Amino acid sequence: QVQLVESGGGSVQDGGSLRLSCAASLGTYSSYCMAWFRQTPGKEREGVAFITRDDSPSYSDSVKGRFTVSQDNAKSTLYLEMNSLKVEDTGMYYCVVTRGVRCSPSEVSEETVRYWGRGTQVTVSA
């Protein structure tokens, strides 16, 4: 049974930083790609940061240069370091495990996500 539990969300001011964590229990499921998706007000859910089993990351244009995804396999934890946060980054952030071997914003949509966490709220104020 797969469990994904996010933490680290909160409220910060424009330009601030947050670090999200995702404790992952994958059981017998062999995952190639994990990612962070977000749901921002008025928009569809989008994948913003992806990382493969061999630590190859990719990012959406909206967060590239500001967010960093990483993982600690020994701790079974996925991270998202978010810097230079903007008001438009406000939303619910989800840790996900994707299907198959595709692992980038252009290849993975929410329809190709296999497992979702419950999410953690990030609020950025002006």
CA 77 to chain CA centroid, Å, is: 12
Give every CB contact of residue 87 below 8 A, 6+ residues apart in sequence. 14, 124, 125, 126
Average pLDDT, the chain: 95
pLDDT tens digits for 11-49?
999 999 999 999 999 888 888 999 999 999 999 999 999
The Cα 15–Cα 25 span in angstroms is: 33
Which pLDDT band, with edges at 50, 70 and 90, does 1 fall under?
confident
- Tokens 């966490």 correspond to 117
Q: Where are the alpha helices (DSSP H) in the chain?
A: none
In the predicted structure, residue 106 carries a pLDDT above the cut 90: yes
- For residue 82, the model assigns a pLDDT of 98
Phi-psi region of 91 (alpha: psi -120 to 50; beta: other; left: phi over 0): left
Kindly state the percentage of the chain with pLDDT values over 70. 100
